[in-house]
Copies of this chain bind each other. A is one copy, B any other.
Amino acid sequence: MNEGFRSGAGAMHPDRLFPADPGTRAIARTLYAQVRALPLISPHGHTDPRWFATNEPFSDPASLLLTPDHYITRMLYSQGVALEALGVAARDGSGTRSEPRVIWRTFAAHYPLFRGTPTRLWLDWVLAEVFGIEVPLTPANADRSFERISERLAEPAYRPRALFERFGIEVLATTESPLDTLEHHAAIRASGWPGRVISAYRPDPLVDPETPGFLANLARFGELTRQDTLTWRGYLEAHRVRRAFFAQHGATSTDHGHPTARTADLGARESEALFEQVVRSAQAGTLRGTDAEAFRAQMLTEMARMSLEDGMVMQLHPGAWRNHNAPLHARFGENIGGDIPTATDYVGALRPLLNRFGNERALTIIVFTLDESSYSRELAPLAGHYPALKLGPAWWFHDSPEGLMRFRERTTETAGFYNTVGFNDDTRAFLSIPARHDVARRIDCAFLARLVAEHRLPENEAEQVARDLAYRLPKQAYRL
């Protein structure tokens, strides 16, 4: 990360997130000094590749920093702030969205809600370190902040590519549907700009028969790949074709967001029959949930098979109950209607896939969880055994200081550090990417410092681990 960025008026405390005990803090500082400035590897996220293709200025503080951040909108909504007041548009266009400056003031008035949350840490960092403005945000300084940020966004140094470079990002993966044209990724390459922005293959809209528009997606999939995607053979081949297309655009991984971690390992004929049943019943409007679940389960194994062929790393993100708040979802759509974690089984659910391909050393499956009770009970034992399985970092609700620490405390003793893959920022909030990696690096150093202070690991080995977690492991696991 560029040092010049780090001298704003509201510079953050250099010891933040380190343990309070002076001896342990001193060790944490030493470890952190080894990793602070390492390049950022961002192998999984949701930034918009268009930003880097067009390199146009970001429009305004609210639509850049607030409206698209569901950590922010959910917290304010939980305390009675209407989504329209935060700039979120209803699907039917009803309601009046607030102006950016008004949204910013509303946010400033509610900033105390974020005390003790990672959002506060990330936002303070963005305000202080990226924009050099005072923190915390208050109603008194809200207008001044809004203006200062607005001015800076108009400067060349705050355009997407400039920020990418100053943030020290070595590689940034976005996530796209197989139906995406990847035109922005192509444009980035064609532009000659050396920033490495790659895609990841996320086939959920074609793998989950319960996705709205599933059949239309299948049809478009067929057009793009010139395959008969209403047949099992053509459907699978279309995936192969499209995975190759993504690989040409730099993708090294696939990503699968399923309601559960269930997998299946059916025979070829059974799989074909299941596919046909799913398509026919979808066409007839009689799709059963059990068939949909079975199909998603089988497709994870099919994707693993293709990963063995083409070398793409598989990511599995299960266990979110999407759009839990049905009235809100009906009004505002996806990613706003309350996605809530659920208790998630891995031991039984992953067994068919792991028994089929889990012993393959050439395969890498990175599994995430929203159910922390599975860390020590299921995931660390599984990853500490199967060669193909690695543990993704603390995810979503848990990529916070306490959450990241619990991940290390509960997985390390069984899976070790080397069956984990470093940090994922998993964010749409581009400006917070360095802050998120910095939090993860600080927490890893804090954990390692405790091991050193308690004489559980020599300091020179802890330094090696800190560097591995921050840089080497994500590069290696994601084949970057």
A281 within 8 A of B: no
- A sample of 30 cross-chain residue pairs with beta-carbon separation below 8 angstroms, ordered by A number, consists of A16-B455, A17-B455, A18-B454, A20-B24, A20-B450, A74-B385, A78-B387, A79-B418, A80-B387, A112-B464, A113-B418, A115-B457, A115-B461, A116-B465, A117-B413, A117-B414, A117-B416, A118-B413, A136-B458, A324-B351, A324-B385, A325-B355, A338-B385, A340-B385, A342-B377, A343-B343, A343-B373, A376-B398, A381-B397, A401-B456
Give residues 400-423 of A contacting B (CB, 8 Å).
400-403, 409-410, 412-419
Asked if A74 contacts B384 (CB within 8 A), the reply is yes
Give A347 to B401 CA distance when docked, in angstroms.
24
Residues of B within 8 A of A413 (CB): 116-118, 397, 400-403
A237 within 8 A of B: no
Give A53 to B364 CA distance when docked, in angstroms.
47
Give A22 to B340 CA distance when docked, in angstroms.
39
Distance from A342 Cβ to chain B, minimum over Cβ atoms (Å): 5
**What 1/0 flags go to A409-449 for Cβ under 8 Å of B?**
11011111111000000000000000000000000000000
User: A340 and B455 in contact (CB under 8 A), knowing A327-B355, A401-B413, A416-B75?
Assistant: no
Asked if B20 contacts A117 (CB within 8 A), the reply is no
Give A464 to B113 CA distance when docked, in angstroms.
12
A86 within 8 A of B: no
Asked if A461 contacts B417 (CB within 8 A), the reply is no
Asked if A417 contacts B116 (CB within 8 A), the reply is yes
Residues of B within 8 A of A458 (CB): 136
Distance from A368 Cβ to chain B, minimum over Cβ atoms (Å): 13
Residues of B within 8 A of A297 (CB): none
Asked if A385 contacts B325 (CB within 8 A), the reply is yes
Residues of B within 8 A of A21 (CB): 20-21
Residues of B within 8 A of A418 (CB): 79, 112-113
Give residues 17-32 of A contacting B (CB, 8 Å).
17-24
**Size of chain A's interface in residues, with CB distance under 8 A?**
92
Residues of A within 8 A of B (CB): 12-13, 15-24, 74-75, 77-80, 112-118, 120-121, 136, 321, 324-328, 338-343, 345, 347-348, 351, 354-355, 358-359, 361, 370-373, 376-378, 380-387, 389, 397-398, 400-403, 409-410, 412-419, 450-451, 453-458, 461, 464-465
8 extra interchain contacts, Cβ-Cβ under 8 A, other than A118-B413, A340-B347?
A17-B455, A78-B386, A78-B419, A79-B419, A321-B347, A324-B385, A340-B385, A402-B413
Residues of B within 8 A of A457 (CB): 115-116, 120
**Copies of this protein chain in the complex:** 3
Distance from A26 Cβ to chain B, minimum over Cβ atoms (Å): 10
Give A384 to B373 CA distance when docked, in angstroms.
20
Distance from A120 Cβ to chain B, minimum over Cβ atoms (Å): 8
Partner of A372, one of B327, B370, B377, B454: B377
Asked if B338 contacts A386 (CB within 8 A), the reply is yes
Give A78 to B461 CA distance when docked, in angstroms.
21
Residues of B within 8 A of A121 (CB): 456
Residues of B within 8 A of A321 (CB): 347-348
Asked if A376 contacts B347 (CB within 8 A), the reply is no
The 6 A-B residue pairs with the shortest CB-CB distance in the complex, in nearest-first order:
A16-B455, A20-B453, A13-B455, A400-B413, A116-B412, A373-B373
Asked if B24 contacts A381 (CB within 8 A), the reply is no
Distance from A361 Cβ to chain B, minimum over Cβ atoms (Å): 5
Give A238 to B155 CA distance when docked, in angstroms.
67
Closest chain B residue to A452 by CB distance? B20
Residues of B within 8 A of A455 (CB): 12-13, 15-17
Distance from A367 Cβ to chain B, minimum over Cβ atoms (Å): 13
Asked if B20 contacts A20 (CB within 8 A), the reply is no
Asked if B397 contacts A341 (CB within 8 A), the reply is no
User: A456 and B17 in contact (CB under 8 A), knowing A340-B382, A347-B321, A376-B397?
Assistant: yes
User: A414 and B385 in contact (CB under 8 A), knowing A18-B454, A341-B378, A347-B341?
Assistant: no
Closest chain B residue to A341 by CB distance? B377
Residues of B within 8 A of A75 (CB): 384, 416
Asked if A16 contacts B454 (CB within 8 A), the reply is yes
